[in-house]
Amino acid sequence: MKTNMMIATLLAVLGSFHVASGVIHTHQYFYTATSGIPNFPEFITVGVVDGQQINHYDSFTKRMAPKAEWVAAAVDSDFWNRNTELAVGAEAVFKNNIAVAKSRFNQTEGVHTYQTMLGCQWDDESEAVDGYIQYGFDGEDFITLDLKNLRYIASKPQALITQNKWNTNRGLLESDKAYYTKECIDWLKKYLKYGSITLERTVRPEVTLLQKGSRVVCHSTGFYPDGVMITLKKDGVDMHEDVDMGETLPNEDGTFQKRAELTVSPEERKKGEFTCEVAHKSREPIVKILIVEEGSNLVPNNLGIIIGCVIAAVVVIGGVVAVVFFMMKKKEDYKKAEQSDSGSDTSDPKGGAERVEC
C-alpha cells in the first residue's frame, strides 16, 4: 500500500515525536491477509501504540496475545478472549476479501496481500485528533476513508464497487466517525496511562558511518522513540541529491533503526571528509566523521549490523513473525493509519469482524 496520503511512515508509519504543538501519540492496527506464501500465516494482526507492539494474532496461533507486560493492567480479564473471537471473525472477512480482490484484478496465482492500516492520533497539547483507515492490495492503494468528508475514495477502478457499497451505508460511515474521533482516542489515552514508563522513555541511538564501494552509509539503531533525523555531509556541505533515506524499521527489542546512503562518484570516493549527523530527542546530535584518503576503500567489518532487518519483507517482533512496512508500501511513506479497541469496554477492533466484505 503506497500513499499519496503505510508508514508518515509505515510509517513514517509509527511512533511518537516532538512537534511545535506538543507530542503526537498514535495507536494503530495492521491487518494483513496473504496468499501464496508457504509456511507463512494467511492472516496477521499487529497492534501498536507509539511505535510499541502491544498485541498480536495470526492464523497459526489463533489467539490474540499481549506483546507488552503493561498491557495486562490496562484491560479486563476477558479482554483477550473477546478480542480473539473478533480476530477470528476478521480473519474470515480478510480471507474473503483477498479472494475478491484477486478476482477483480484477474490474478489467481503467485503471492498476494490484502492489507488494512487504521487508527487514530492525538496531540497531547493542542488536543487535536485525527483518524484514518486505508486498504491496499499487493502493495498499492485500494480504497481509503476520507474522514473529513465522511466518504470512501477508491484508488483503483477495481475498488469502485466497494466505494459505492460502503458510501451508501450511512450507519457504517457514522460508526467510523464515532470510532476514530472518540473511542479510539479514549483507548489511546488509556494505553498511554498504563504504559507511560515504557512509552515515555528515550533511548539514545548507536551510529555507524562507513564506506562500501560507491556508497557512504550511515546506520542508526537502538533508538526510541522512532523520530530521528539523519543528515549526510561531504566536506561540510549538506548532501540532498543522491541520498537514499531508508525507512524507519523496528528492532526486536522495541527500539528502531534507520539508515541513509549517499552514492558518490569515483572522483568523490578518492578523497574527502564525510559526516553523518543523527538528531534524536534523547540528547544532543551524534556526529560521526569518515575520512577517505587517496586510494583507500574502507570496508569496516561491522557492516553486518546494517543488514539484519528486512528479509522477505518481514521482521521478527517479540519472537513472532509479523508483516511490517515493506509489504505495506513500495518505497513511499504512509500516512499513519491505526486502530484501537473500539466499543469502549468491549474493545471491538474496527475493521475487524464488523467490516463488510469488499
In the prediction, which pLDDT does 265 show?
A: 83
Residue 200 to residues 5, 203, 205: CA-CA distances in angstroms? 28, 10, 16
Share of the chain above pLDDT 70, in %: 75
In a domain, 1, yes or no: no
Q: How is residue 239 written as a grid cell?
A: 548532501
Do 212 and 184 sit in the same domain of this protein? no
Q: Is residue 355 part of a domain?
A: no
* Most confident range, picked from 27-36, 301-310, 322-331: 27-36
Phi and psi at residue 234, in whole multiples of 5°?
Answer: -120, 115
How far is residue 213's CA from residue 216's CA, in Å, rounded to a whole number?
A: 8
Rounded CA separation 67/46 (Å) = 9
CA 35 to chain centre: 21
pLDDT digits (tens, 9 = 90+) for 11-28: 333 333 333 346 889 999
Mean pLDDT calculated for residue range 205-219: 92
**Domain with 301 in it: what CATH number?**
2.60.40.10
What does each C-alpha distance from 300 to 210, 213, 245, 336 come to in angstroms? 7, 12, 21, 36
The answer to the question of residue 105 being in a domain is yes
pLDDT in tens, 224-272: 988 899 999 999 999 888 899 999 998 988 899 999 999 988 877 677 8
Confidence of residue 283 (pLDDT cuts 50, 70, 90): confident
Cis peptide before 266 (omega within 30 of 0): no
Mark whether 303 and 319 lie in a shared domain.
Answer: no
106 lies in some domain: yes
> Are 128 and 76 part of one and the same domain?
yes
215 touches 299 (CB < 8 A):
no
- 141 and 211 fall within a common domain: no
pLDDT of residue 99: 93
CB contact at 8 A, 93 and 355: yes
**255 plus 289 within the same structural domain:** yes
Total domains present in the chain: 2
Cα torsion 281, 6, 44, 159 to 10°: value is 160
**Domain for residue 49, yes or no?**
yes
Range 285-311 average pLDDT: 54
Identify whether 325 is part of a domain. Answer: yes
Task: Compute the distance between CA of residue 91 and CA of residue 106 in angstroms, rounded to an integer.
Answer: 22
Q: What is the mean pLDDT of the chain?
A: 79
In a domain, 357, yes or no: no
* Tens digit of each residue's pLDDT (9 = 90 or more) over 30-71: 999 999 999 999 999 999 999 889 999 999 999 999 999 899
307 and 324 in one domain?
no
288/341 same-domain check:
no
Verdict on whether the full-model pTM lies above 0.85: no
The residue among 201, 191, 194 whose CA lies nearest residue 119 is: 191
Q: Do 190 and 74 fall into the same domain?
A: yes
Residue numbers of the domain that contains 269: 206-311
Q: Would you mind telling me the total number of residues written for the chain in this entry?
A: 358
